[in-house]
Amino acid sequence: MTEEVGHWLIYGETGAGKSSSAATWPKPLLGCFFDPMFKERPYLYTRRGKPRGAITRGVEGSVPVDEVRDDAGDLLVRIEHYLDADSKNPRAYADFLARMARIHDDIQAWKIATFVIDSVTFMEIAARKEQQYRINPTARDPRQWFAGSTDTLEEVLMVHLGSLPINVVVLAHIDEDKDELHGTMVRNPAAPGRLRKRSPAGYSEVYRAYVHRDGSNDPVYAWQTRSDQFFNALSLFNVPNPCAQGYKELWTK
């Protein structure tokens, strides 16, 4: 198959290879990183621990930034960390929304090929703390904070990202609850409220990342690309099911 531009939602348990596989997408890659510090390593290093290029670390405003550049100085990977050192005085999600307001300009200026969000789990926490301590601190019902974070994530994940004319990869964990899909109860990507069931509708490709063992008992990292009686998945690119993890693997058949 010929490589195509698309939007992916990849979900799986911790350690299922989500970040490592997202790091294989075309470069330059821009990542908005909500997970804790140092979990960004797969984007900066190969699985064998070799740097992908010259790594620089800095801070722009209140946002820590890691960049990887090739020998010619061209951008390969840029990871922006949206983290709150003080959860009672949050600013990470506000910084992220400000970044999204200029995302189209930066995609053009930097010739970005892939945009990544890693991960929805910690993104929701940042959005909820923004609701709790800045936007609605006098709420009498904590459910208002969850509702507010769901609304803003819905705008980003279902609307704003859908407008990006480049590769988009959103990473999530697996929800513990099940939802009905074509008469079968299956598990979906973890997301707050109504997004748990709706989020897959915003992406042409929805894969479950998982690990299984081969004949020698070595771990094999794979994607499930079709729904079964346990997990939701889909592929409009008709990617094989299962598929070995890695961008190049999508187009081998």
pLDDT in tens, 155-173: 999 999 999 999 999 999 9
Those residues with Cβ within 8 angstroms of residue 252's Cβ, 6 or more apart along the chain or in another chain: 1
Question: What per-residue confidence (pLDDT) applies to 183?
Answer: 74
Biggest distance spanned by C-alpha atoms of the chain: 58
Those residues with Cβ within 8 angstroms of residue 227's Cβ, 6 or more apart along the chain or in another chain: 181, 182, 184, 186, 233, 234
Question: What per-residue confidence (pLDDT) applies to 53?
Answer: 97
Q: Could you tell me the pTM of the whole model? A: 0.95
Does 182 have pLDDT greater than 90? no
| Per-residue pLDDT reduced to its tens digit, 79-114 | 999 999 999 999 999 999 999 999 999 999 999 999
CA dist., res. 196 & res. 23, Å (int): 25
Burial of 143 (0-12, 13-18, 19+ CB in 10 A): exposed
- Cβ atoms within 10 Å, residue 244: 14
Instruction: Quickly list H helices, 120-199.
Output: 120-130, 143-154, 195-198
Does 181 have pLDDT greater than 90? no
End-to-end CA distance of the chain: 6
Residue 137 or residue 217, greater confidence: 137
User: Sorting pLDDT into bands at 50, 70 and 90, what band is 179?
Assistant: confident
CA dist., res. 152 & res. 203, Å (int): 18
Task: Give CA separation, 79 vs 44, 174, 220, 232, in Å.
Answer: 9, 24, 27, 29
User: Sorting pLDDT into bands at 50, 70 and 90, what band is 62?
Assistant: very high
Instruction: Identify whether 119 is preceded by a cis peptide bond (ω within 30 of 0).
Output: yes
| Per-residue pLDDT reduced to its tens digit, 27-52 | 999 999 999 999 999 999 998 899 99
User: Sorting pLDDT into bands at 50, 70 and 90, what band is 9?
Assistant: very high
Does 117 have pLDDT greater than 80? yes
CA dist., res. 253 & res. 87, Å (int): 47
Kindly state the helix (H) or strand (E) to which residue 199 belongs, with its residue range.
none
Instruction: Identify whether 142 is preceded by a cis peptide bond (ω within 30 of 0).
Output: no
Residue 253 or residue 38, greater confidence: 38
Question: What per-residue confidence (pLDDT) applies to 185?
Answer: 79
Residue 197 or residue 53, greater confidence: 53
CA dist., res. 94 & res. 45, Å (int): 29
